[in-house]
Structure 1
């Protein structure tokens, strides 16, 4: 599932393959930009901003993409078979003489002026893996709405950028509270620990092929995806329920013993 660490890895792969090289092929398969031709231009860099990818190209252009749930960027060598999905799911191709970057199922793909990048990512809070990281600002953002459920506040990229559904559940477990606890009721010491822990987890995983919050091989996660399986601490069966702001519900996992507090049924 693409979260801040996954997107950081995608940006690094793309940057390693494209930056400093001239494009010999470009194909943007979305109606608005289908006629755009980037061939002959040099890719300057590829960077992650939260869950967004910014591919900066010579001439003051940026290709902005977002993976959401199903999107991916794959990199292939000349002659290598493309295997990211059927051809009709390809939304973008950026190729130089040595590599081809192919974007599959990208729900967001737009070409904009680099000077206007803030139009696409300016709403984001401090980036957990970015140079703009500011723990005090991130915590202040989370606490602006004290009645909001902690899980929903963590997923709101305007508060802090990079946490997704996996880290939401894992962070709440590590803090010993349910994702439905109003942010304003989070004890002060845990609130102070929250943003630092979030950054620590994403930094720990940003170069790892398999995400882990436990540090144990074969037991990578505490609660996420472990419905009805025993809690790794107390052996109580893990529970799952949907949580969302009304626009989208997300499966949310917790241990009813290690994480006391409000739940959907309470």
Structure 2
């Protein structure tokens, strides 16, 4: 499940493989980019903003370009040696392939693909809040944006990328558990909102540079998370059964411990 750390790691791996390479052939398999051609362009660098990946290109005498993609729930980039079989995902999920003399970068099930002048990147990501993985992370601004709607349930507010960019269901659930916050608590009633934001930032950055998303301190299979995807299992702290509920904005799944994160019942509609 791609969240901000996954996108950051993807950008890093892509950069190590393809930065500085000249594209010899590009193949776009989405209608709006079917006639686009990046042949002759040099891959300058990959960058990310929240869950958005930005692959930047340069060419002498031309304005720099950016290839934008969003991984959402199931997108991924893979790299292969020239002539190597593209394995791991069905071919019908391929959305773009960038061929260079040293490597082929293949994007599977990517969303929101677009090519824009690099100077116009803000049109695609300018609405996002502070990036939890960014060098320009601004905790105070993230808190300010969350506080702008004090009546909103904190679980929904954390997932809103306009407040802070990069959080998905995993870090939402784990952050709220570790702070002892009932997921449907109105933002304005959350005790120490800055501490909650700081916890989210620390959790995500702890997984920088690795693919395993662990929040418990253990990388062992089945021990990586406190409540995420553990519905029906005992809480690691108090042994109360972890619960799961689907609802709120965009019908997202929420996991929580009723004892460690107490709140009124019944759940909101």
**What range is the shorter-chain TM-score in?**
over 0.9
Task: State the partner residue of 1:198.
Answer: 200
Question: Is the Cα contact below 8 Å between 2:7 and 2:53 reproduced in 1?
Answer: yes
Cα drift, residue 264 of structure 1: 5.3
Cα drift, residue 263 of structure 1: 5.5
Q: Secondary structure at the match of 2:214?
A: coil
Summarize the Cα distance change of 1:263–1:174 in structure 2 as closer, same or farther, 3 Å threshold: farther
**Which stretch of the first structure deviates more once superposed, 105-114 or 149-158?**
105-114
Q: Secondary structure at the match of 1:73?
A: strand
Task: State the partner residue of 2:4.
Answer: 4
Q: Secondary structure at the match of 1:119?
A: helix
Q: Secondary structure at the match of 1:142?
A: helix
Cα drift, residue 70 of structure 1: 1.2
Task: State the partner residue of 1:176.
Answer: 180
Structure 1: gaps spanning 5 or more residues: none
1:126 alignment partner, one of 126, 130, 134: 130
Cα drift, residue 261 of structure 1: 1.6
How do residues 1-266 of structure 1 correspond to structure 2 at under 5 angstroms? 1-58=1-58, 59=62, 60-187=64-191, 190-218=192-220, 219-245=223-249, 248-262=250-264, 265=267
**Which stretch of the first structure deviates more once superposed, 80-89 or 168-177?**
80-89
Question: Is the Cα contact below 8 Å between 1:178 and 1:263 reproduced in 2?
Answer: no
CA–CA distance in 2 between the matches of 1:232 and 1:9?
28
Cα drift, residue 87 of structure 1: 1.5
Structure 2: gaps spanning 5 or more residues: none
Question: Is the Cα contact below 8 Å between 2:207 and 2:214 reproduced in 1?
Answer: yes
Question: Is the Cα contact below 8 Å between 2:9 and 2:211 reproduced in 1?
Answer: no
Summarize the Cα distance change of 1:7–1:264 in structure 2 as closer, same or farther, 3 Å threshold: farther
TM-score normalised per structure 2 = 0.94
Instruction: Spell out, residue by residue over 1:139-197, the C-alpha distance to the aligned partner (whole angstroms, 9 max, x if none).
Output: 1111110010001000000000010010000000001011111010011xx31211111
Question: Is the Cα contact below 8 Å between 2:212 and 2:219 reproduced in 1?
Answer: no
CA–CA distance in 2 between the matches of 1:107 and 1:21?
24
**Which stretch of the first structure deviates more once superposed, 78-87 or 205-214?**
78-87
Question: Is the Cα contact below 8 Å between 1:181 and 1:262 reproduced in 2?
Answer: no
CA–CA distance in 2 between the matches of 1:135 and 1:263?
32
TM-score normalised per structure 1 = 0.95
Number of equivalenced pairs = 262
Question: Is the Cα contact below 8 Å between 1:51 and 1:161 reproduced in 2?
Answer: yes
Cα drift, residue 64 of structure 1: 0.3
